[in-house]
Structure 1
Amino acid sequence: MFIMEYFSKRTVNVQQPAGDRLPRYARVNTLKTTVEDTVDYLKRDGFSYLGQASRLDDFTLKEKSFVRDMHLPELLVFSPKTDFHDHFLYKAGHIILQDKASCLPAFLLNPTPGSHLIDACAAPGNKSSHLAAILKNKGRLFAFDLDAKRLATMSTLLLRAGVTCQQLANQDFLKVDPESPQYKDVEYVLLDPSCSGSGMVCLRDDASSVDQEKNQARLASLASFQLRCLNHGLRFPRLKRLVYSTCSIHRQENEDVVAACLQENPGFRLVPLLGQWPERGLEPLTQCLRASTTKTRTHGFFVALLERYSEAGNKKQEPAVQIW
């Protein structure tokens, strides 16, 4: 995430998150292993593999049992209290502990191996490692973040994950020059900027009017920043696709930002995503995805995929990837 001095991912007036009741997700790092080998290792380690999930109820798992996710083929799903922090697969970088919703941006952006792309607000690096795995370490991944300490942690994470195609920069993405020769071949951008973090926790209903007023002002400032980042990301001359995501539940940071961006950038349009996903963007932006603890068994999340029109005939530059 891109960290500003005056904003953080923490929210005010919060209750305990529902995260301890959500499944534990582990993304198989295909730079180092395969899903099949990981499943075999876990079975030898005493876990019970129940096959691929077909519905949300399959995520209600007992201890030491797991399934393969029905949407993301490299994601394994475990019972909520499963702890992998001391496990060989985690320490060796064979699995990445990452919420399912957080895996959606890289999965849906789906960059072509060998291409150049940007992770605009990259730390702590899970999405960057996912992008590198999709690239198969072929191409160039430019990753930016303002927080030097988080960037150093990210560098360690990417090293453990076997990522070699990255170029990290302790830099404000808004100050990156899209016209620089260094970025002339950038075709994909992943933008996951600072947000309220409201999808990670539940805001209290009894917040005072003063607190609500402050929160609205904060949301307005965040939305303004997010729109600037989104507009900036679309300025790269060879850009084909940009994925925008937040861990916010607020329309102001999600659909409203995307709608404003589309008005300012008529050369781009939304790509419909995952037609059978159970939670859509709010009307009229139903091409986007939302995620929640109740409908998708994940943290709260929002994802939109923007695609450039070609100049000739107002057609897309490449076919839309209608995944699932």
Structure 2
Amino acid sequence: RPNDDLLPDCVKRPAADQLPRYVRVNTLKTTVEDVVDYMKRDGLFYLGQASRLDDLTLKTKEFMRDIHLPELLVFAPKTDFHDHFLYKAGHIILQDKASCLPAYLLNPAPGSHVIDACAAPGNKSSHLAAIMKNKGRLFAFDLDAKRLATMSTLLLRTGISCQQLANQDFLKVDPDSPQYKDVEYILLDPSCSGSGMVCLQEDTSSVDQEKIQARLASLASFQLKCLNHGLSFPQLKRLVYSTCSVHSQENEEVVTACLQQNPGFRLVPVLPQWPERGLEPLTQCLRASITKTRTHGFFVALLEKQSDTGNKEQEPVLQKR
């Protein structure tokens, strides 16, 4: 599965078996309505739009439109699309719901200049490009050349042409370079413990707690550096910070430290209807989990440059598009 979704292959783990199969429709190639029609002709049963989380308990061959994200369809757990025509043609992307949140909440305008700081294997980049309607410029950086090659294949399959990929450390990208003078949006999903991923959750009973804490401290330091670096781009309006971690050291604590060091930015409250919030006092942020949101574990924060015009810019992320 060379171009699989962001999730590791967890199908043999019981907890992963409980999760719905989420499918994001690639709006650069098709529409949600057309994919729904295709699936119905394929013999699947469409139950309409979900109105509450409990609706997402689906039987085999049933599917729905997601309650929060308009371009997301939800299928029964373990529904396999890897050999499906729509997947191979780039019309659908297999991506956990929680990992669709960063691009959705960043919501870059078509024609804008955007950075995906730690981009491979590319699902979030492809989502950003779709929101941008493939117009503007999407700068995507990653240190892993092999994953970047996989990403290039994914973007080709999904019909994206606004990207500029670079096998480069984001921390070494010069914010003052003329190339990035118009960058207004950054998606930062840096390396993290992966503790929110169902199949990566560590059995801590036999693990040295001191080693775990040392690793978390090291990751948090790196994440804060990335966040501070992202906020230094001169024309930046919004930055989304996300991790697939459940640890506050990598989530709320990193954001709190960043805000203390960057008083020109503030947290924007997002998706008030989302059932799981950041830990107090950062309830503007989102958390995700198997039990409360039927997704893998995730954390998302939206930071916005403060301006004299008040809160006008936060409206798109508060409303369903």
Instruction: Verify same fold: TM over 0.5.
Output: yes
Partner of 1:86: 83
Could you tell me which of 11, 29, 32 is aligned with 1:35?
Answer: 32
Using the aligned pairs only, state the percent identity.
81
Say whether residues 1:140 and 2:137 are aligned partners. Answer: yes
Q: Which amino acid aligns with 2:57?
A: T
Say whether residues 1:291 and 2:305 are aligned partners. Answer: no
Q: TM-score scaled to structure 2, two decimals?
A: 0.93
- Quick one: structure 1 residues 77 and 319, their matched pair in 2 at CA, closer, same or farther if it must change by over 3 Å? closer
Kindly provide the CA deviation profile for residues 158-210 of structure 1, in whole angstroms up to 9, marking residues without a partner as x: 000000100000000000000000000000000000000000133325234xx
Q: Which amino acid aligns with 1:203?
A: E
Partner of 1:224: 221
- Between the aligned partners of 2:296 and 2:129, the Cα distance in structure 1 is 23
Q: How does 1:262-277 map to 2 (within 5 A)?
A: 262-277=259-274
1:82 counterpart SS class: coil
| Alignment check: 8 A CA contact 2:268 2:314 kept | no
Could you tell me which of 152, 171, 176 is aligned with 2:173?
Answer: 176
Partner of 1:102: 99
Q: Which amino acid aligns with 1:270?
A: L
- Quick one: structure 1 residues 61 and 151, their matched pair in 2 at CA, closer, same or farther if it must change by over 3 Å? same
Partner of 2:112: 115
- Between the aligned partners of 1:67 and 1:319, the Cα distance in structure 2 is 28
Shift of 1:317: 7.0
Q: Structure 2, unaligned stretches of length 5 or more?
A: 1-6
Partner of 2:4: none
Partner of 2:3: none
Kindly provide the CA deviation profile for residues 26-68 of structure 1, in whole angstroms up to 9, marking residues without a partner as x: 0000000000000000000101000000111111111111000
Q: TM-score scaled to structure 1, two decimals?
A: 0.92
Shift of 1:212: 1.0
Q: Which amino acid aligns with 1:98?
A: Q
Partner of 1:207: 206
Kindly provide the CA deviation profile for residues 50-89 of structure 1, in whole angstroms up to 9, marking residues without a partner as x: 0000111111111111000010000000000200000001
Q: Structure 1, unaligned stretches of length 5 or more?
A: 1-8
Kindly provide the CA deviation profile for residues 245-288 of structure 1, in whole angstroms up to 9, marking residues without a partner as x: 00000000000000000000000000001111110000000000
Partner of 2:313: 318
Shift of 1:318: 3.0
Matched residue count = 308
